[in-house]
Chain A
Amino acid sequence: KAGVTQTPRYLIKTRGQQVTLSCSPISGHRSVSWYQQTPGQGLQFLFEYFSETQRNKGNFPGRFSGRQFSNSRSEMNVSTLELGDSALYLCASSWGTSAEQYFGPGTRLTVT
């Protein structure tokens, strides 16, 4: 079974721009979660989607948003990029009620 895939793997953007990251979960997984990883803050939860509905949201500004499609694929969007948004963005998928999450390789976002 294919794992979680994320595109693109690397991205360089300029302050003020916006960016969209994509995540395809493991086949059959209906929950998709997003995490931000930085050296200073570590791994922080962004949001979680299940059956196209956002069920949980972390403590991030409204510039961070996401959505999930009917095929469980998910996208997250960051508008008005700031230097501090430079991070590894990780997507994780989970099946049904399982708390067990499987992570993709991440998208490395660099904001200049």
Chain B
Amino acid sequence: AQSVTQPDIHITVSEGASLELRCNYSYGATPYLFWYVQSPGQGLQLLLKYFSGDTLVQGIKGFEAEFKRSQSSFNLRKPSVHWSDAAEYFCAVPRGDSSYKLIFGSGTRLLVRP
């Protein structure tokens, strides 16, 4: 069955430092992959998506992610974190039987030190 693992529950970085959030997936074929961000009390905002093609995808707010099939990973990166990036980040993959059902990882909460 499809699954998504985000091994880091919390990550703390200093403002201006680089960021990498990990995501590993289990999927039978080449997956669609998504990263969402959720600010406290808010819904989820789509940061970026991978469907096919170039394995390095650019998203909003200066985020990027790289799809690595050999490692079953889709890690999210940002070269310089801003205090406003503090939020919870979710990696997601569609279920195999329907592209409309998303399986989410457990999330990584990002804290930003001033």
Cβ–Cβ < 8 Å partners of B19 in chain A = none
Interface size class of B (residues with CB under 8 A): 20 to 34
Give the interface SS of chain A, mostly helix, strand, loop or mixed.
Answer: strand
The one of A55, A97, A100, A104 that contacts B43, using a Cβ cutoff of 8 Å = A104
Contact of A33 with B100 in the complex, beta carbons under 8 Å: yes
Segment 76-112 of A: residues with Cβ below 8 Å from B: 90, 92, 94, 97-106, 108
Query: Closest approach, in angstroms, between the C-beta of B44 and any C-beta of chain A?
Result: 4
Contact of B42 with A105 in the complex, beta carbons under 8 Å: yes
B-contacting residues of A (Cβ < 8 Å)?
A: 4, 6, 31, 33, 35, 42-43, 45, 48, 50, 55-56, 58, 90, 92, 94, 97-106, 108
Question: Can you name 24 A-B pairs with beta carbons within 8 Å?
Answer: A6-B43, A33-B101, A42-B104, A42-B107, A45-B102, A48-B98, A55-B98, A55-B100, A56-B97, A56-B98, A94-B100, A98-B99, A99-B51, A99-B94, A99-B99, A99-B102, A100-B34, A100-B49, A101-B34, A103-B36, A103-B46, A104-B43, A105-B43, A106-B42
